[in-house]
Structure 1
């Protein structure tokens, strides 16, 4: 168990219809990226595969339900966790999924400094594959108008963790982020099927190839820079040259800096 990424815990109460399926498992709570609810890894049941359980209450319960729908749709196109069981009650939801094998792209980059260029190439190839899914087949909208409306709701509800802003925006308020986004508009957007949170912690790799992705609650039609900006930002933690490599391998020769900055600002509010 990686104690930096998860913590052993007791089982949480689950609906009766899930009880038998979860009996005999040990539980660990995920410590990385829980914006979409509490996430638990279930492991150690003899002869049974590892599973993941996502749980949310109130508004987060709706997000868990949204992720269930997106996972079932996206499974036609990309390797994602399979939905094993979903239960929704008024104000609460539980989503049980299969575990995707592999290590996160963050772990792989950290452990393999001499292979970072080829790892980034694999990430870019996977992103290109995602963005070639026909937009006509995607029933979900995650465009800038939708995301801006959600961001405004989160600001007004006091849900923004301003202490978690990127270094470039340390000391900013959520309203300053909002105002800076408005300054960058209007922009001409190029809609594709996006993942919405295409970060290194959400991409699983084996043998230098991306074998799956997790945390699909934001999948939907949006500008391609929605995904590019988040991955670009993550790679900056390792080396700026990897950011350049990503854009080149993806196929961008003339970077739209306004779009890049807009989506980095937008991500601060989620």
Structure 2
């Protein structure tokens, strides 16, 4: 993964109501994640807190709308960016948010090798906090049945990026991955509130303390391994020892290898 997280960019065109929310700022465009959309950090030259802007059209506009709705719901339970303004016009959407303090977990793991075990413990603790949000209060569904249906649609439409497959499925076709994960069905599942994309770039930290999470458009009810698999896979970039530490730190003594493999494969379709 590149160490370059953002580049200076031309200030984005904003809808009229939103222009009043971000005067006198310069734009830095994020180059990590958010495929199909654009993410900007809007920096104030007078020293006011940064803002973040997401914008996009078509299906990305729908994703941005989903994130706005989930942010407004999540803020009562965990630390997430505050929605400053949201505008949707035609097939375009703009979401302006406050910035969380700290650096990404990926940056922290890169910068402080000696603190990596403590960072993993903090990530596991924050994930448990998400998973203990009362499931009955969550109005969003993200379970594997829904994600499988969407994955199959992407498979049929030829939208799966096989060049981006992780180590487990590197060199395979999308159909081979599909065959692999569907052979693992049915699954015994547990239902909790999940983040949906609990990767190292979506978690902010101040030192070894998690300050919150971003990119919440996939938040919804699903099995805990939806999040655990993604985080476990990300930690593999640093060391197998960190992967081994994750599950005990979370509270699992014997990881379910079947569910881990299933969710790793399912995530390759998105």
Give the Cα separation in 2 of the matches to 1:259 and 1:50: 39
1:171 is aligned to 171
Check the 8 A contact 2:108/2:207 in 1, yes or no.
no
1:147-171 CA distance string (max 9 Å, x none): 1111122222222111010122222
DSSP 3-state at the match of 2:21: helix
1:227 is aligned to 227
User: TM-score normalized by structure 1?
Assistant: 0.97
1:259 is aligned to 259
Give the Cα separation in 2 of the matches to 1:100 and 1:221: 24
2:67 is aligned to 67
Residue 247 of structure 1 and its aligned partner are, at CA, apart by 0.2
Check the 8 A contact 1:128/1:250 in 2, yes or no.
yes
1:184-199 equivalence runs, <5 A:
184-199=184-199
2:124 is aligned to 124
> Within the alignment, does 1:150 sit opposite 2:123 as a pair?
no
1:71-90 equivalence runs, <5 A:
71-90=71-90
DSSP 3-state at the match of 2:121: helix
Check the 8 A contact 2:86/2:93 in 1, yes or no.
yes
DSSP 3-state at the match of 1:184: coil
1:33 is aligned to 33
Check the 8 A contact 1:36/1:217 in 2, yes or no.
no
1:99 is aligned to 99
DSSP 3-state at the match of 2:183: helix
User: TM-score normalized by structure 2?
Assistant: 0.97
Residue 36 of structure 1 and its aligned partner are, at CA, apart by 6.5
Equivalent residue pairs, number: 269
Residue 197 of structure 1 and its aligned partner are, at CA, apart by 0.4
Check the 8 A contact 1:36/1:63 in 2, yes or no.
no
Runs of 4+ in 1 over 4 A off after TM superposition: none
DSSP 3-state at the match of 1:100: coil
Residue 175 of structure 1 and its aligned partner are, at CA, apart by 1.3
**Which structure 2 residue ranges, 5 or more long, are not aligned?**
none
More displaced stretch, 42-51 vs 256-265: 42-51
Against the structure 1 CA distance between its residues 36 and 138, is the aligned structure 2 distance closer, same or farther, given a 3 Å change threshold?
farther
* Cα RMSD for the two superposed structures: 1.3
1:92-139 CA distance string (max 9 Å, x none): 100000011101011111111111111111111111111111100100
DSSP 3-state at the match of 1:95: strand
Give the Cα separation in 2 of the matches to 1:116 and 1:23: 39
**Which structure 1 residue ranges, 5 or more long, are not aligned?**
none
More displaced stretch, 47-56 vs 240-249: 47-56
Give the Cα separation in 2 of the matches to 1:247 and 1:96: 35
DSSP 3-state at the match of 2:152: helix
1:190-217 CA distance string (max 9 Å, x none): 1100000001111000121101101001
Give the Cα separation in 1 of the matches to 2:158 and 2:213: 30
Against the structure 1 CA distance between its residues 3 and 11, is the aligned structure 2 distance closer, same or farther, given a 3 Å change threshold?
farther
Give the Cα separation in 2 of the matches to 1:207 and 1:269: 33
Give the Cα separation in 2 of the matches to 1:180 and 1:245: 27
